[in-house]
Amino acid sequence: MKELKEMALCVTPFIVSALLVYPLMAIVGGNFDPFMWDRTDRAFYFLCVVVFGIMLLARVMVVHEEKA
């Protein structure tokens, strides 16, 4: 059970960042359908999700360590 909790703790920031960056990319890409985005739009979306996900993960890990 502890391993599942740790995996969820590591994956959740990337899911949250993907959901939060999507509306921005819908404006930048010009369409809410991701299949209509250009390759550069998809690459930028991936890069933003990874960067924001890492930032959120770092914040969650710091708070998680402070509680322990």
Q: In whole angstroms, what separates CA 67 from the centre of its chain?
A: 24
For residue 34, what pLDDT is reported? 85
C-alpha to C-alpha distance for 68 and 55, rounded to whole angstroms: 20
pLDDT under 50 in the chain at which residues?
A: none
For residue 27, what pLDDT is reported? 87
Domains of the chain, by residue range, sit at 2-67
For residue 2, what pLDDT is reported? 80
